[in-house]
Structure 1
Amino acid sequence: MNFKKLLLLLTFFSTCVLIAQEKHGPDVIATGTFVKKTIPLRDMPIRQTIEKEETSALKIIQNRLRANRKTNENALPLDGDVLTQKKFGGIQTKALEQNFDGADASEGQATPPDPTGAVGPNHYVHAVNLVVKIFDKSGNLLAGPTFLGDFLGSGNNSGDPIVLYDQLADRFFVSQFDTGNDSLIIGVSETSDPTGVYNVYEFPLDAFPDYPHYSVWPDGYYLTANKFSGNTTYAIERDALIAGDPDPKIIGFNLPGVTNNPNTVFSPEPANLTGTSFPADVPGYIVYLQDDGWSGVSFDHLKIWEIELDWNNTSNSTISAPLEIPTTPFEATFAPFGTGDVEQPGTSQKIDMIGGVISYAANYRSYGSHNSWLITFNVDIDGNDTSGIRWIELRNDASNGWSIFQEGTYAPADGHSRFMGSAAMDAAGNIGMGFNIASNTLPAGIRYTGRFNGDPLGEMTVAETTIVDGIGVQTNTNRFGDYSHLTIDPDNFTFWHTAEYFASNNFWTSRVASFSLSGGFANDVGVNNITAPESGILTNAETVEVVIRNFGTDPQSNIPLELRVNGTLEVSETFTGTINPNETATYSFSQTVDLSNEGETYTLEAKTGLSNDEFTDNDGFTKDVIHYLGDDVGITAIPSPVSGEGLGNETVTVTITNFGDNPQSNFDVQYSVDGNTPVIEQFTGTINSQEEIDYTFSETADLSVLGTYEIEAQTNLATDQNTDNDAFQVTVENLQCLPTANCSLGDGIQHFVIGTIDNSTSCSPNGYGDYTNLNTELEFNSTIEVTVASGYNNQIFSLWIDYNDNSVFDTNELLIEDVAIPNSGTDVTATFQIPQDQALLGTHLLRIRAGWANSEDTTADPCIDFTYGETEDYTVTIIDPTLSVGQQEFNNTDVVIYPVSDKTYEVTFNTSTDFGTIDYTVFNTLGQQITAGEMETGSDGYKTNVNLANVATGMYLVKLNNKTFSTVKRLIVK
């Protein structure tokens, strides 16, 4: 009986037994195959890198599936993540110890990189798709880059590498999957030297093991995989791999009682041991999140399974029924598959950050009195795809099972998304967490934070620290690394983190950094919190209470303290007690401070002054305290209406904030459109101090005419003590020509070819695909071929080029009209010519639309919404061979648009060629000119700042031209 038949029988048997018992046995018992003993990795040939300019042609590794929107719209939380930590931590730690680039796109030659790495006593082993590199702990390269397929023997550079350091055996572990054989390939170093020889094994499975995540555990290497049939959780005979045995066993389990969103990467995580201590007979642990936004899940929780292995009699191995641990409500799903989640500056292309999964790795540490297990995953904090990192510390001990000791959501309120987190705990119980950060104003970079054991529960108290800032953006795909990887040094105090960023546009680079929270100093104390007073109605005699932490290794007493208010020293006192290492003490200053001025924000700074302190950066802590006015309300946002197509009588909703100390009710609130007669209504509810409440007016606003509208709202509280914050204003635009359609059945465009553009696509979100990052050259007066295929029978298509660059596709710009595509999957070719008198040389927008011919829709209208079909936009460059030199230079010059402040953008045209006067013009989607001017010249080309503070959010077109050549670039204004 072959392996797959055995699997089906065992799976059926276990499913029947599961109903009647708490634990059940394995679903698969098999063996791996010894592949080879490698030559020393340091002696393997170095793989040739590719030129940076060639990275646009890299292999794009697609994720098998990703989360779609939640299926239960009533799933909690309804009003944002209540655990969100909106403020940054304030504790300073030592500077980064190591910080160097690991690999880049010229070496890995695939996107995304999926960076992983592990640190041993003397080495850091690093892998990305599709290479491995080995560094010493100072960042010096010792081996590689070597293709994983060459190193691990399969010859297949498939991807999803994972690197582990097995601290119990002083060995290194490197793995990737093999797409050709639906198997996992694992190499384990023969000695403690990772640059030496490895024993390589292959483990064939019954289905493709996407997204494999491994862990080191005393009785085995555990792993989970995103499979679409068969088992998802495995244990591999660790001792056999370390010894180089020929037939190591592998045991597979299903997870009883698990619920999985069928459109989500299935990523249960095995517990990964950090340190070398562990309880006797400790079982293996598997954890998975369960989101009530998924069908079949009634509340947000974690499920935990225990696995007990018997390698002598593998059929005795068991997996438990799941333990369910309720969490504070979270939303772990984001944008639909293929659209990306996180915005980037200067481009409409978003990048993935992977929702609905537990991040790698789920690190475990035993402290004797208890065991801690750290879980992290991405959560949507506001329902608008702004991501924070939910982190949970689970604890158990000899008498009690797993429960949540603390949980929080790290998401400081600065408009950036934090995602792809990875965290661990050091030997003192301090948490370090690395993560990516990005937004529409911040290129994807890498940072870290953390907390000290004993700090307020659920808070990351360490100041957010930059590992590396992103420089570029990615416009050729939404794919971003599926995981980052934080590991702990064998010294048990140093965290090593690796993740990706963009060193330039469309060029990823991985970064490796190490940091520690415990500095290892003997004498190191500081104030790490100010617990009183809090903002409110304050007096002229407020008591200030602080928390002092001993960061060092020696006990400390008689610690001098200083307290400043708005920078002025007010109090000098001494804490006379004793604080032991890694402990805290609370101290109240005996002298009070005057905070009695209504409406003022006071900055309190408390600081230690230990004379022999070896690290003074963490001595002080700062906190702003506001003396609230009694009566103070205002409008802080207008959530609706928003710019869009086809606006009519729109509901107006405003956010009211009570800035004061007194509850407020029964006051007037109003809005006006374009300064016309205001609509006045009464807010009859009650809004408490510092509370925000959305109020929806019963009278709607007529926004049916195309164009822009200024909407201003304000509160009219009779006793308001500060009217400066009463009003708020937004600009809303009724747009046209951003059409939608349903292409989920295959209607629309699945293959489009023109010039050098050859684009195979799936259904675009809402039936609109922005591919303006793809460009091809077209010549005047030549016959130009267009090839189109659809995924549904009986389609028609039309095509335009926006010759005059005004973002409107006029009748004379319609080049192909309602050409038939009779059969699904069959290419259809049509031709057109560009007359020389119709367009400037340079770049222009091209639009193609395809739809179902049996509907009443015509594709020859560039703007109407389809019932069934799709619209895609591209960029083309019109050239004249007789003007090739200057035109080539102009066409090859990048237009870079970068936000420099809120709605102000720097437009640069970097060239050493003098093109004379270059003018810029900004159009909206109605073809209306928003602003125009002349670009400034300098030694590095042309540039200008464009202020769009008064325009609505949405899509705009920036056109540059010198009366001979022109180029266009899209701009998304937020």
Structure 2
Amino acid sequence: MSKFCQTLLALAVATAATGSALAAEKVNPGQTFINSEGIQVSVGADWVSPPAQPEKFFLDARMRPIVPAWKPGDPIREIPRLFNGDPKVRQMQAHPVNPVPQGDILSELQRAFGAGTDSRAFTTPLVNRDGQGFSGVFPPDPSGDVGGGFYVQSINGSGGATYVVYNTSDGTIAAGPFSLEGLGSGGACASGNGDPVILFDQLASRWLLTEFSSSGNNLCVYLSADSNPVTTTWTRYAFVPPSFPDYPKYGVWPDAYYVGANQSNATYALDRTAMLAGLPATFQRKGVPTLSELGFQMLPPASFNGTDAPPAGAPGTFLRQVDDELNNPGSNDPLHDRIELFTFHVDFATPANTTLTGPIPIQINDFDRAFNIPSGFGAIPQPGTTRLLDPLLEVIMFPVHYRAFGSTETITGNFVTKIGANNQSAIRWFELRRTGGLANPWTLFQEGTYTPAGDPAPTNRWMGASAMDSSGNIALGYSIDRAVAPTQFASLSYVGRQAGDPPGVMTTAETSLVLGASAQTGFDRWGDYFQMGVDPVDGCTFWFTGEYMGASNWATRIASFRFDACGSPTFSVTGTPLAQEVCAPSATPVALSPVNINVGSVSGYNTPVDFGFGSGLPAGFGGSYTVSPVVP
């Protein structure tokens, strides 16, 4: 899908909505002001690092020492999840002024759609194999991305992050497992401590591998010289923020590698241009206003995918979800919550010109993050144990995917929501769109809560990872379990939808990748994140990695799948509003609201699309199209 055109089904006089252009505003460095759109703008970097020095290493991965597998008797450790403020905040007890209706309207929409269709291609994985196994560390933090004919997966190991390189052709191991810290030698990153993030920079066809160090506040970043992670030269950077950067999540963007961290809502921009050139690189920090009643706060950045670049000068974008029953209980909207965007425009030459703009609110349907958490972080029940698992309820899940189709831009993401008694959880997913460039706003295109029809008992779905392919199709992978009969231990499943499907629902059948075989009893940490990506070689094949419970300990899984329609030229049609009320017959014509119809090009389709009514309208109804045919 490369672009969208619009026609108007005129059942009445059409009205046109116009976006307001952002006027240039002269500001002074250090100033915070409200712009013409009513949004706060903070000018000037809060903090600028000294240049991090590049260190280059050529290491043929096939000659490196293999990290030995964990065995009984080896150490077991937990990587702490930093929590700021009063521990009682973890109990998530909301006391909103305005009562909230029970239930999730979007989950009811999904159930009403049915169980979904069994698409033979999408629901049959191409690769479905175990990834790296138990390492003695809780949680494993599985991360992986795809590019250049390879898939790289990384997890938390006993001595820092470990990674394995797989061939995308058949899922076989090309090299590994190796320690991430072994990509360099000595220095601040000589001892890694995990929280790995693996990204393939599709703009540069290079790999970005990261973790933090076991001492100091180092973000250890390894950048490949090319797309082959087995034989490439690596350049290492040790970036040192002013305090420990817990839970760092990265995003690829033309002007920077953006990073969010659980560090008083810190956002960072690393000088990508300097890094790609192998030069000393600085990074800048901007703080984001914190939300009340949350002790763990991190905003993930949107990360570029695809072939169509963002508009020239587009800033980096960070996102968070706001449950105003919890975060603003004194004046909550009982029917709606919001996603907030913050745009980071970095100027590495003149940091005083750097700006952070936001929060920019986007209204969504109400969701619920007020899980009952008796202690620690656990909320998700498991069969056969009282140990609860961490749902990671505070953040939008990494990675947040950006993809452009000509002048239409998309951002897809997801987060967990509580939908029922006993902490029953589901995944709220969303797609934002912006059309026509930077002068126009991001808006909510669609959202859904995935709880399919046919669950035999209350079922939990959480720890989601989502992505969009080059045809606009979406895939969502996640953890799934059921604490009551018929029970199911923590497993992995996925689901999807095609670009032209009804909005707000996942339309394929739910597909199980692997069933869990036991309960996790020693720790409540789970995840802390999974990852979904799309192979840039074809723009169609999704690659997913996540955690499940093996016979006695956690394990990880790697899978790939694709829609058979991806890459085949066709078109999609969506419209809004799709339903209107007609109260009584009338002797004179009654004008209904116009229906805005979007015609999307899928995989380069450019043949005119004719619109007509045929015999589809009831007696007494008429209408017309403002444009027909339409070329997508």
Q: What TM bracket, shorter-length normalisation?
A: 0.7 to 0.9
CA distance in 2, matches of 1:276, 1:252: 29
Contact 1:62 1:479 in 2 (8 A): no
Aligned residue number for residue 167 of structure 1: 202
Structure 1 residue 98 corresponds to structure 2 residue 127: yes
Q: For residue 206 of structure 1, what is the amino acid of its counterpart?
A: P
Which of 275, 286, 292 is the matching residue for 2:306?
Answer: 275
Change (3 A) 1:150 1:121: closer
Can you list the C-alpha shifts for 1:527-567, whole angstroms capped at 9, x where unaligned? xxxxxxxxxxxxxxxxxxxxxxx999899xxxxxxxxxxxx
Three-state SS of the structure 1 residue aligned to 2:440 is coil
Structure 1 residue 189 corresponds to structure 2 residue 250: no
Change (3 A) 1:96 1:128: same
Can you list the C-alpha shifts for 1:477-511, whole angstroms capped at 9, x where unaligned? 11111110001110211111110111212x11111
Change (3 A) 1:119 1:436: same
CA distance in 2, matches of 1:358, 1:585: 41
Residue 249 of structure 1 deviates from its aligned partner by 1.4
CA distance in 2, matches of 1:27, 1:480: 33
Can you list the C-alpha shifts for 1:544-601, whole angstroms capped at 9, x where unaligned? xxxxxx999899xxxxxxxxxxxxxxxxxxxxxxx98999999999xxxxxxxxxxxx
**Which runs of structure 2 are paired with 1:622-633 in the superposition (5 Å)?**
none
Residue 353 of structure 1 deviates from its aligned partner by 1.7
Q: For residue 332 of structure 1, what is the amino acid of its counterpart?
A: R
Three-state SS of the structure 2 residue aligned to 1:104 is coil
Three-state SS of the structure 2 residue aligned to 1:240 is helix
CA distance in 2, matches of 1:334, 1:583: 50
Structure 1 residue 36 corresponds to structure 2 residue 55: yes
Which of 40, 52, 64 is the matching residue for 2:82?
Answer: 64
Change (3 A) 1:581 1:118: farther
Contact 1:552 1:582 in 2 (8 A): no
Three-state SS of the structure 1 residue aligned to 2:154 is strand
Contact 2:142 2:530 in 1 (8 A): yes
Aligned residue number for residue 65 of structure 2: 45
**Which runs of structure 2 are paired with 1:868-887 in the superposition (5 Å)?**
none
Three-state SS of the structure 2 residue aligned to 1:33 is coil
Residue 174 of structure 1 deviates from its aligned partner by 0.5
Which of 282, 285, 288 is the matching residue for 1:249?
Answer: 282
Contact 1:93 1:462 in 2 (8 A): no
CA distance in 1, matches of 2:136, 2:557: 16
Change (3 A) 1:492 1:554: closer
Which of 359, 379, 395 is the matching residue for 1:357?
Answer: 395
Aligned residue number for residue 141 of structure 2: 114
Contact 1:268 1:357 in 2 (8 A): yes
Three-state SS of the structure 2 residue aligned to 1:277 is coil
Contact 2:326 2:370 in 1 (8 A): no
Aligned residue number for residue 333 of structure 1: 370
Which of 517, 520, 531 is the matching residue for 1:474?
Answer: 520
Q: For residue 62 of structure 1, what is the amino acid of its counterpart?
A: P
Note the aligned Cα RMSD (angstroms). Answer: 3.3
Structure 1 residue 390 corresponds to structure 2 residue 434: no
Can you list the C-alpha shifts for 1:785-838, whole angstroms capped at 9, x where unaligned? xxxxxxxxxxxxxxxxxxxxxxxxxxxxxxxxxxxxxxxxxxxxxxxxxxxxxx
Aligned residue number for residue 102 of structure 2: 79
CA distance in 2, matches of 1:498, 1:182: 27
Three-state SS of the structure 1 residue aligned to 2:192 is coil
Aligned residue number for residue 315 of structure 1: 352
Contact 1:365 1:373 in 2 (8 A): yes
- Please, which runs of 5 or more residues in structure 2 have no aligned partner? 1-27, 84-88, 572-599, 617-632
Can you list the C-alpha shifts for 1:746-782, whole angstroms capped at 9, x where unaligned? xxxxxxxxxxxxxxxxxxxxxxxxxxxxxxxxxxxxx
Can you list the C-alpha shifts for 1:602-631, whole angstroms capped at 9, x where unaligned? xxxxxxxxxxxxxxxxxxxxxxxxxxxxxx
Change (3 A) 1:58 1:584: farther
Contact 2:393 2:417 in 1 (8 A): yes
Residue 448 of structure 1 deviates from its aligned partner by 0.9
Structure 1 residue 461 corresponds to structure 2 residue 507: yes
Change (3 A) 1:121 1:339: closer
Structure 1 residue 496 corresponds to structure 2 residue 543: yes
Three-state SS of the structure 2 residue aligned to 1:486 is strand
Can you list the C-alpha shifts for 1:281-319, whole angstroms capped at 9, x where unaligned? 222111111111334464421111222222332321211
Aligned residue number for residue 217 of structure 1: 253
Structure 1 residue 447 corresponds to structure 2 residue 447: no
Aligned residue number for residue 440 of structure 2: 400
CA distance in 1, matches of 2:351, 2:120: 48
**Which runs of structure 2 are paired with 1:256-655 in the superposition (5 Å)?**
258-278=289-309, 279-296=311-328, 298-299=332-333, 300-336=337-373, 337-338=375-376, 340-398=378-436, 400-412=440-452, 414=455, 415-440=458-483, 441-490=487-536, 491-505=538-552, 507-519=553-565
CA distance in 2, matches of 1:518, 1:583: 25
Aligned residues: 525
CA distance in 2, matches of 1:209, 1:294: 25
CA distance in 2, matches of 1:156, 1:449: 38
Three-state SS of the structure 1 residue aligned to 2:528 is coil
Structure 1 residue 144 corresponds to structure 2 residue 176: yes
**Which runs of structure 2 are paired with 1:735-750 in the superposition (5 Å)?**
none
Residue 241 of structure 1 deviates from its aligned partner by 1.4
Contact 1:260 1:294 in 2 (8 A): no
Aligned residue number for residue 234 of structure 1: 268
TM-score (norm 2): 0.77
Change (3 A) 1:181 1:345: same
Three-state SS of the structure 2 residue aligned to 1:351 is coil
Three-state SS of the structure 1 residue aligned to 2:66 is coil
Q: For residue 50 of structure 2, what is the amino acid of its counterpart?
A: T
**Which runs of structure 2 are paired with 1:690-709 in the superposition (5 Å)?**
none
- Please, which runs of 5 or more residues in structure 1 have no aligned partner? 1-12, 526-549, 556-578, 590-974
Change (3 A) 1:31 1:98: farther
Contact 1:96 1:513 in 2 (8 A): yes
Contact 1:152 1:185 in 2 (8 A): no
Contact 1:303 1:325 in 2 (8 A): yes
Three-state SS of the structure 2 residue aligned to 1:287 is strand
Three-state SS of the structure 1 residue aligned to 2:516 is coil
CA distance in 1, matches of 2:602, 2:400: 28
Structure 1 residue 24 corresponds to structure 2 residue 34: no
Contact 1:37 1:199 in 2 (8 A): yes
Can you list the C-alpha shifts for 1:706-738, whole angstroms capped at 9, x where unaligned? xxxxxxxxxxxxxxxxxxxxxxxxxxxxxxxxx
Contact 2:92 2:326 in 1 (8 A): no
Residue 167 of structure 1 deviates from its aligned partner by 0.7
Change (3 A) 1:222 1:346: same
CA distance in 1, matches of 2:143, 2:429: 20
Can you list the C-alpha shifts for 1:65-120, whole angstroms capped at 9, x where unaligned? 38431333456644021111224322424121111211011xx3311111001100
Contact 2:266 2:287 in 1 (8 A): yes
**Which runs of structure 2 are paired with 1:840-879 in the superposition (5 Å)?**
none
CA distance in 1, matches of 2:217, 2:410: 35
Q: For residue 284 of structure 1, what is the amino acid of its counterpart?
A: G
Contact 1:518 1:551 in 2 (8 A): no
Contact 1:67 1:334 in 2 (8 A): no
CA distance in 1, matches of 2:609, 2:386: 47
CA distance in 2, matches of 1:88, 1:36: 53
Three-state SS of the structure 1 residue aligned to 2:550 is strand
Aligned residue number for residue 243 of structure 2: 207
Contact 1:518 1:552 in 2 (8 A): no
- Percent identity, aligned pairs only, is 33
Three-state SS of the structure 2 residue aligned to 1:239 is helix
CA distance in 2, matches of 1:498, 1:521: 23
Three-state SS of the structure 1 residue aligned to 2:183 is helix
TM-score (norm 1): 0.51
